[in-house]
Structure 1
């Protein structure tokens, strides 16, 4: 069987094009994130293969409660259900988010530090990363108490290790040579 990403890619592109044509990328990203979270729940995932549960019921389960029955998003989710693609909703949402970030020229960056960044530090870091990557930066911070100090910045394909441990390791390598 094909991988989940292969199955999800055309649906993510279709959702992206539909949302972009309606200038509703943010709205669709939120709805897809909700649907993906519901679909990823183990109790819901168990229902996807159950022949006793109608596909329409599964579609209604992953659709936000306040979503109109005739909205493009509801129609999209019903299409996924009819094609038995609801299990790949987490992958569809992730691919949609990537397409959205590319279209909006936004880069999601994870900053791992030992202590929380102050707002001034975060603003300086955001500005420096914006200059380096030429894109708007969206920072997600995670705290790692195992770190001695500094920060590790994960910007997709680029990882910048500015941690104390990383600096000490590089210094040790330089001294060994």
Structure 2
């Protein structure tokens, strides 16, 4: 995995530079997301790794309708260098670069049950104060947390789940 990220990083940076230069980062984001979903499909993945696959066929398979010429050339470069299987990693790194440029922190709030919108807004405001940037929140539900929530934002994880509190209490009682 780390080798794939190392290989994908220069391509993601180049894609971001091209998208930003054309003032088309949202369009590139959408096109990369589509291409990475196709590339991650097991059948398409096997096809993309085939040595006899023509560059034009690979680009035709991965490009969305109406993709700009720079994006199709980018896909052609990936096909020519046999890097199409790296599209999911390239897309993830591209999205990180985009979030940094847009000064947005992406946070995931995992809770034991669905949180009301008012609580999510309170969390968003608190994270915005902490990071000094806009915050986009994704939610997930994990009943094994028992109660509370785990917030994963940037490189910060705040674990306020009942499961972790019980584990800490159990460790303290064992000592």
Per-residue CA deviations over 1:27-56 (Å, capped at 9, x if unaligned) read 211111111111111101101222332121
Task: For residue 175 of structure 1, report the CA deviation from its aligned partner.
Answer: 5.6
What residue number does 2:115 align with? 117
The SS at the match of 1:64 is: coil
TM-score (norm 2): 0.91
Task: For residue 176 of structure 1, report the CA deviation from its aligned partner.
Answer: 6.0
Structure 1: runs of 5+ lacking an equivalent? none
Task: For residue 105 of structure 1, report the CA deviation from its aligned partner.
Answer: 1.2
1:156 aligns to 2:154 (yes or no): yes
Q: Partners of 2:102 and 2:51 in 1: how far apart?
A: 41
What residue number does 2:25 align with? 25
Q: Partners of 1:75 and 1:53 in 2: how far apart?
A: 16
The SS at the match of 1:13 is: helix
More divergent stretch after superposition (33-42 vs 18-27): 18-27
What residue number does 2:40 align with? 40
Larger helix proportion of the pair: 2
What residue number does 2:126 align with? 128
Aligned length: 174
TM-score (norm 1): 0.90
Task: For residue 88 of structure 1, report the CA deviation from its aligned partner.
Answer: 0.8
Q: Partners of 2:130 and 2:57 in 1: how far apart?
A: 48
> Taking structure 1 as reference, are residues 77 and 174 closer, same or farther at Cα in structure 2, changes over 3 Å only?
same
Q: Partners of 2:51 and 2:98 in 1: how far apart?
A: 35
